Structure 1
Amino acid sequence: MFPEADQQLSPADRSDADDVEQQACPKCGAQPGSPCRSRGGAVASAYHTRRFTMVPRLKKTLRVPTPADRGPGRLWRPGTPPLVPIDPALPSADIRIGYARCSTLGQELNSQLDALSNHGIPRDKIFSEKISTRVRVRSKFEAALAASREIKAHAPHCRVIFTVYEMMRLGRDAAELTALADHLTAHGLILEMLAGPLPGIYDPTGPGRLLFAFFAAMAETERENIRESTLEGLDTAARKGKHGGRPPVITDDMLHTVLRRRASGESVEQIQPDLIIPTGKRKGQNPSAASIYRALAEHAKREAYPEAVDQAHADFAALTGGEVPEPRTEAKALTTR
């Protein structure tokens, strides 16, 4: 029916999905070898139109479904295309691509970058970013994988090694780490870790695979323990009346000064240049007029409903202490005004 399409058919052992995954998706950013992803990060049930129409024989196709082995509807996992055959007669060489990551802007990447550089990886082949592993799509990480796959495709006789400082730089979810290891192996890439429980080249067969899965599960458990300990510490501090966050910009002394001078007829704009922030990152600077107005509004609210504020503090203390607060007539009356 379509002679041009018939001439461009792939071999019998290749499916439509295999041909589609040779292209990067311009809509969701999926790299070659991976299925399309939905906005929520799950594997899409069908490839995006802009992607499968890049294949000449599929331009008139209305829909190309995602094969069942890619896990449609589940959390995204990289595809597993066949390995590129390696000619043993060709000389081999090692090409390393480095990846460094930390979770927050306050952390530093210098130690990881120095370790990767000292391992012989040029700076232009090291991809780094500050992003949490909770973010499923990490741009620099995707770029590092794409660069590794491209090098392997153009130089199949070389060993392309994807190097990270430690396992937790890749992720802390056991399923995600295992999927990544499978993805690298499927593309003929080698995973290498410089530190942590499994330093050196990762062996995807036999005991190496079992050890990797074990330590991936341990990393996920460690992350959950850290999270629980942090929440317990915050809860304990809250019970003692200590709450995190920045110190208030408008202190009680500053608020007293504002109230006294406003009673004398001065405006907030006239008072603001004379106020100095005593602590915090803005120490020594003047507070903004908006901060002064917010402090005045909160003060007015406390003055208008003192009993309700006291009752709220008492109820909170009783609840955190495991007791059930007794209802008070005054508080009920205030809430019905």
Structure 2
Amino acid sequence: MSTALLAWYDANARVLPWRVPPRSDERPDPYRIWLSEVMLQQTTVAAVKDYFATFTRLWPTVEALAAAKDEDVMARWAGLGYYARARNLLKCARAVAERGGFPDTVEGLRALPGIGPYTAAAVAAIAFGRPETVVDGNVERVMARLHAVQEPLPASKPVLVAHAAALTPEARAGDYAQAVMDLGATICTPKSPACGICPCRAPCKARAEGIAAELPRKTPKKPKPVRLGHVFVIRREDGAFLLERRPDRGLLGGMLGWPGSDWGEAPEFAPPVAGALEEVGEVRHTFTHFHLILRVHAGRVDGAAPDGLGWQRLSPAALPTVMRKAYDLAATSPALNVAGD
């Protein structure tokens, strides 16, 4: 099956900006492979492409990224989500630059900051040709269908990893890892898999049993709780905004944001400065473990910035998505009068 899948990949591999085409004499760049894998966690290829292009234009090598300012990297990451990845990206880049390059084994890669089992296996296989087993959501789906594994995820994950390991070849391990991921992304899709043109249709047990579209099964998730909060979009007469740099640890760590309340069941309304503020509405955002509803308050106020906050010119693109939503709503309000300046 691995041979058949590699033959399919040679003819049908997706063209991706971080990827070296199959059968190419060009060697994969570990930096580009690692960067793409970090960006792709919990995110789609379509969402990542523009970010990848920006990062590799501004910081074309791991040494360049290691020398970048934290706030510049965090600003360019804004909107991609899961901001701990950006902090770990910088820590890892600096560790790699200090040691003089990426290690070429899973063990060496796992010793770097922010690199877990999946990323280590992916970089080792794709960048260095190590016969490591690479298992993402696409691979889990392919293995569940190929072997008709009906136990729901996440309990079935060890079985799916074992099936994937049994099929990983010694040669062309990187191409094989990308082939399985491409198969899951383009043919063995979550809904309406194209079994008729699948290179693995003959040995696929789920296709034979007519249950491919039902797999992999997943244990139902508990409903996400809802948290509430207040944010204050405050603008000075000279156009500067009152902003905070969020703590490195926690949600939106290290990112610029609006001052506001804690997020919970009964958030306290406590504006950071005195002045006329108008409630302009609410924005909603979903994090991994909860839904958030923020009441947005906006206004124009002059005066000194409280401790921990600062007045600064704002590029809305540097804000994380939920804070950008609050800005977009506040910018429509006469209380802020952005359009009038």
Task: Please give the TM-score of this superposition, normalised by the length of structure 1.
Answer: 0.24
**Bigger fraction of residues in strand:** 2
Structure number with greater Rg is 1
Q: Which has the higher contact order (CA 8 A, sep 6+)?
A: 2
Task: Please give the TM-score of this superposition, normalised by the length of structure 2.
Answer: 0.24
**Bigger fraction of residues in helix:** 1
